[in-house]
Chains A and B, each alone.
Chain A
Amino acid sequence: MDEHWSVAAHRHLKAAGVRQIGYVPDGGLRLLIERCLGDNEIETVMCATEEEAVGLSAGAWLGGQKSAVFMQSSGVGNTINAIASLISSANFPFFAIVTMRGQWGEGNPWQVPMGQAVVPTLEAVGVKTFLAESPDAVDMMIESGLRMAYSTDTPVAVLVGQKVIGSKIWTAGKAVNQ
């Protein structure tokens, strides 16, 4: 597949009827965020912390709209109580796209502990996680993850792996994306 994974992701969000996106920016999410910002039918909310996007998602559902949350894996730690105490407690549907750090080829040691904790912490609060390690898998998992989230009121997170988004290589003076 030649097109960037964000093209299919945006298409699936539209097909599922997603109308609100709460996000905290990440380099791996840049193209998907830009695509959503340019879409008049999607309301985007830039959040100061990922926990806010969880509340937004519940509010959107109460108001009759589907939503999605975009965040980097480091932000998952900020969402745990909100997911447990709101999404799982009240059986809200929930769908997140998480771009991974600290997972495969990571060059920054400060990213590794949270990156490695993403799956066990999300699963512990009731979120089903699907790790996508190729653009084709991202495409398929976002489509099926949205269906599962909104057809079964299950919290779902698709983790976009570093095999897809790459990893920063740290050299003296600058960081470059591999």
Chain B
Amino acid sequence: MSAISLHRRDVLGAAMAERGDTLFVSGLGSTTWDLASFGDRPENFYLWGAMGNATMIGLGIALAQPERRVVVITGDGEMLMGMTSFSTIGAKRPSNLAICVIDNETYTETGRQPTATGLGTDLSAVAAACGFAKTAMIRTEADAKGLAQLLFRDAGPVCAVVKVVDEDLPMTVPPRDGGYLKTRFRIGLLGEEVATRP
């Protein structure tokens, strides 16, 4: 197995050029800082908590908005905590949902303890075993060129795991008021009238 050489913001940043009007959910911690680093927008729902629940939030949006692409960007620790949702999503098979796991094999926010993805668990293989339509393990620059296609165009459910180096990066801090993020997302998607007078 090749050594890990990809950098999370380089790989994600290149794919983001093709995001269009994609609706995003980011897992708490590093992937929320990552998503914010590419520019704050109403279509981003950043998690500051709810560890283990990012993908199910994505499923709820995807089922409600079948014509829109929904992408969940989360970390290996967050995904490990919510691993049962792979089987739930595999059973439901939403074609407009993609999950991108930024896998540095580390619980970054809590002091860089190792996660199970460096000790044997292959999250893309778990997703494949749960019936995802498309899965990928991205380790090289060449693999990374296919990330935008996986996240934004391939029929889902998609799970793309990107192996990245564990590195200190500047924190880009998005708004942290959950009520604001929720209402902003709904207004952006549904319009003010529908979003605020349900």
Contact = CB atoms under 8 A, between A and B. Distances in A.
The B interface, classified by DSSP as helix, strand, loop or mixed, is helix
B185 A62 contact: yes
Contacts of B55: 55
Given A58-B57, A85-B49, A90-B178, A64 B189 contact: yes
Interface string A14-56: 0000011010000000000000000000010111110111111
A113 interface: no
Given A48-B88, A82-B53, A89 B178 contact: yes
B63 A55 contact: no
A146 B56 CA distance: 22
Contacts of B195: 64
A64 B85 CA distance: 21
Contacts of B58: 59
Contacts of B45: 62
Given A64-B64, A85-B51, A48 B57 contact: no
Contacts of B190: 64
A50 B78 CA distance: 17
Given A59-B58, A60-B63, A90 B88 contact: no
A108 interface: no
A65 B53 contact: no
A169 interface: no
Contacts of B85: 48, 52, 55
Contacts of B52: 51, 82
Nearest to B179: A91
Given A64-B190, A85-B51, A92-B182, A46 B64 contact: no
A5 B3 CA distance: 59
Contacts of A65: 60, 63-64
B69 to A, nearest CB: 12
Interface in B80-114: 82, 84-85, 87-88, 91-92
Which of A53, A63, A90 has most chain B Cβ within 10 Å? A63
B149 interface: no
Contacts of A52: 53, 56, 82, 84-85, 88
A150 interface: yes
Interface of A: 19-20, 22, 43, 45-49, 51-67, 81-82, 85-86, 89-92, 150
Interface of B: 23, 25, 45, 47-65, 82, 84-85, 87-88, 91-92, 178-179, 181-182, 185-186, 189-190, 194-195, 198
Given A55-B82, A59-B60, 12 more contacts: A22-B56, A43-B63, A47-B88, A51-B53, A55-B54, A58-B57, A59-B57, A62-B57, A64-B65, A64-B195, A86-B49, A91-B179
**Which 3 pairs, one residue from A and one from B, show the smallest C-beta to C-beta distance?**
A59-B60, A63-B64, A90-B178
